[in-house]
Chain A
Amino acid sequence: MTTAAQNANGAGPQPENLVAFRGVTKVYGRGGASMQALRGIDLDISGGEFVAIMGPSGSGKSTCMNILGCLDTPTAGSYRFKGVEVGGLSRNQRALLRRHYQGFVFQGYNLLNRTSALENVELPLLYRGASASERRARAREALETVGLTGWEAHSPGELSGGQQQRVAIARAIVTKPAVLLADEPTGNLDTARSREIMELLTALNRERGITVIMVTHEQDMAAYATRIIRFMDGLVASDQPNGGKSS
């Protein structure tokens, strides 16, 4: 299917959004034991937004996040990322999309143990085939952006939770991605640390124009976003703009 054909029967002639879900469903398992995680979602997110996705456990927000991050594909419906139909891509093609356009931040930080902060941040650049000097320079710059200058040589075990999450954010933005996908980034942090992380994400969104899509349980954290989408039973229950929180 070509982009033109999609546009003709889909959203029309308006400019393509960064993310476009059309009737996305996701079914786990088969037959009687099957479970419908998403029941036909339509969703558009354009570049530069700061979106918070909320909802109770099992509402489908994690499944939605996996599909957004090209880690999973819809059972039916269409997911277009930057105009590319992700459903039709191979595993490796989806990996290339992640490598070039997406950054990930997880609840559990997911840094490599016994590896210095600098090496952790360098990792995505390694897969891009950047030279050693470029890797080093960009990793230092990313660590500086998250306020961790001077901590380059420390391994995750030597850093606090908040610092580890900052390293993870540095790793996500070191490739200058189009979108930053954050899955409960403050889930393991206390309130003060959580605020710092949220302010960092807000700054990245406002100053660098990085689209941020964040899953969270906490209303306080969602308040930082410019748009809040609530999931319920595999459907979008509400989708409202939010003023955002000035820091």
Chain B
Amino acid sequence: MIGNTILLALREIRRNVLRSFLTILGIVIGVGAVITMVTIGGGATLQVRQQIASLGSNMLIVSAGKRMGPGQASSAALFKEADAEAIDAEISDIAAVAPVTTQSLKAISGNQNWSTSVVGTDNRYLRVTSRVLRTGRSFNDGERRGGAAVCLLGETVKKKLFGSQEALGERIRLQKFSCEVVGLLEGKGQSSMGMDQDDLVVIPLRTFQRRVSGNQDVSLIQISVREGASTDKAKKDIERLMRERRHLGPSDDDNFTVMDMKEITNMLTGTTTILTALLSAVAAVSLLVGGIGIMNIMLVSVTERTREIGIRLAIGALEREVLTQFLVEAVVLSSFGGLIGIFLALAGSVWLSAVLHVPFVFNGGIVLVAFLFSALVGVIFGYFPALKAARLDPIVALRHE
């Protein structure tokens, strides 16, 4: 009997293709939007995780000043190179410590110029940030101590200044001094926040202090904790050490911050997760609106087909059968909408993830949930019109024009 009812529903939908399509448009858009949002959101979260993992999830960053909240920080004295050495010497389970100080400068080679971030540090920076040299060499001891005019180029800077030409051994100008390119870094791609991680020039810390900043300050200390060791413990130890070195009394607040990459990971993935949930909720509202659209059309359809319902009842259809017919019609319609929505969402997600450079992650769970939900929408919003149809008096319905 249910097979016959589905057959009747399909005949009915076929009789009115255009209206059926318009009816399910809301469901198509709702299901499509929900699946696309969740898929793209899932891809973005995965991307954040991957990039942070490539950055090194066991990294700690010590910066001056206390973070008050997003974008706010109290100013405080910067660090010295000795602070980094003290951490390296006194804290256990540390793999590498790099003092880092950066400034944005214009790099010039020939008639090409490019504004980039110049990083003053030493060879340990490469290890802490998991960077690899593609060609050339890192700084030697003499260059490090003497503040020699040598540099390592990130992939982006190399491309902008030299194109496809050989850069190794060439000289570039940074502000008022020129330095020799001794090494090229392997590309790392975009960071989780959309920053180009290859847009940098690395020079020895001493060189930076002497020729760029003119002081002995170090703005950040980046630390890589040994694999398998607790970053929490290392963080606490560093905080204790820095309080001591900065002569803070027990009642003073920290005037520096130790950031754990794990926290940043959680913060960033948390943000994308919340955004995904919010966008999906908005999309789910359109699914609800789609359901109301179905109810509206089904009610119109019942009125329009009053005579037909009268014929069916006169021929001997039971109330239950008319109810089932209209209910099945609504469910078949909304499920069709769900299927089309799923198809469009998958196509759209593949396209969007290519455009947004986000990995495409197929989420079977949300596809199934969205499909079942679209069918449920049909049941809920189809029930009232179906009941209205089933309760019609055949004599009155047959007289209806």
Interface residues of A (CB under 8 A from B): 66, 69, 71-72, 91-92, 95-100, 102, 104, 106, 110-115, 119, 123-124, 126-129, 171
Contacts and interface: CB of A to CB of B under 8 A. Distances in A.
Contacts of A102: 316
A128 B315 CA distance: 10
B318 A119 contact: no
Interface residues of B, number: 23
A50 to B, nearest CB: 21
Interface stretch (B77-85, B109-117, B198-206, B306-314): B306-314
A66 B307 contact: no
For the complex, would chain A's binding face be called helix, strand, loop or mixed by DSSP majority?
helix
Contacts of A112: 308, 311
Interface of B: 1, 4, 7-8, 11, 15, 307-308, 310-321, 394-395, 398
Contact of B395 (A72, A95, A124): A72
Contact of B311 (A91, A96, A99, A110): A110
Contacts of B1: 129
A91 B393 CA distance: 10
Interface-central residue, B7, B15, B316, B318, by most chain A CB under 10 Å: B316
Contact of B315 (A91, A104, A119): A104
A98 B315 contact: yes
Given A110-B311, A123-B312, A71 B318 contact: no
Given A95-B317, A115-B11, A71 B394 contact: yes
Interface-central residue, B307, B308, B310, B317, by most chain A CB under 10 Å: B317
A129 B4 contact: yes
Given A66-B395, A92-B319, A127-B317, 8 more contacts: A69-B314, A71-B314, A95-B316, A96-B318, A99-B316, A104-B314, A119-B11, A123-B312
26 contacts: A71-B314, A71-B394, A71-B395, A91-B319, A92-B318, A92-B319, A92-B320, A95-B316, A95-B317, A95-B318, A95-B319, A97-B316, A99-B316, A99-B317, A110-B307, A110-B310, A110-B398, A111-B311, A113-B308, A115-B11, A115-B15, A126-B4, A127-B317, A127-B321, A128-B316, A129-B1
Contacts of B316: 95-100, 102, 124, 127-128
B15 A114 contact: yes
Contacts of B4: 126, 129
A114 B311 CA distance: 15
Contacts of B8: 126
Interface-central residue, B7, B15, B321, B394, by most chain A CB under 10 Å: B394
Contacts of B315: 98-99, 104, 123-124, 127, 171
Contacts of A127: 312, 315-318, 321
B381 to A, nearest CB: 25
A197 to B, nearest CB: 19
A129 B15 CA distance: 22
B357 to A, nearest CB: 50
Interface-central residue, A71, A91, A102, A119, by most chain B CB under 10 Å: A71
Nearest to A100: B316
4 smallest beta-carbon distances between A and B, as pairs:
A99-B316, A98-B316, A114-B15, A124-B315
Contacts of A97: 316
A171 B314 CA distance: 12
A50 B38 CA distance: 69
Contacts of A96: 316, 318
Contacts of A71: 314, 394-395
B395 to A, nearest CB: 5
Given A119-B11, A126-B4, A129-B1, A95 B307 contact: no
B314 A98 contact: yes
Contacts of A129: 1, 4
A180 to B, nearest CB: 13
Nearest to A116: B11
B318 to A, nearest CB: 5
Nearest to A120: B311
A98 B394 CA distance: 12
Contacts of B398: 106, 110
A110 B314 CA distance: 10
Contacts of B7: 126
A99 B316 CA distance: 4
Contacts of A114: 15
A98 to B, nearest CB: 4
A115 B311 CA distance: 13
Interface-central residue, A96, A111, A114, by most chain B CB under 10 Å: A114
Nearest to A129: B1
Contacts of A69: 314
Contacts of A171: 315
Contacts of B320: 92
Interface-central residue, A95, A110, A123, by most chain B CB under 10 Å: A95
A113 B12 CA distance: 10
Nearest to B394: A71
Contacts of B318: 92, 95-96, 127
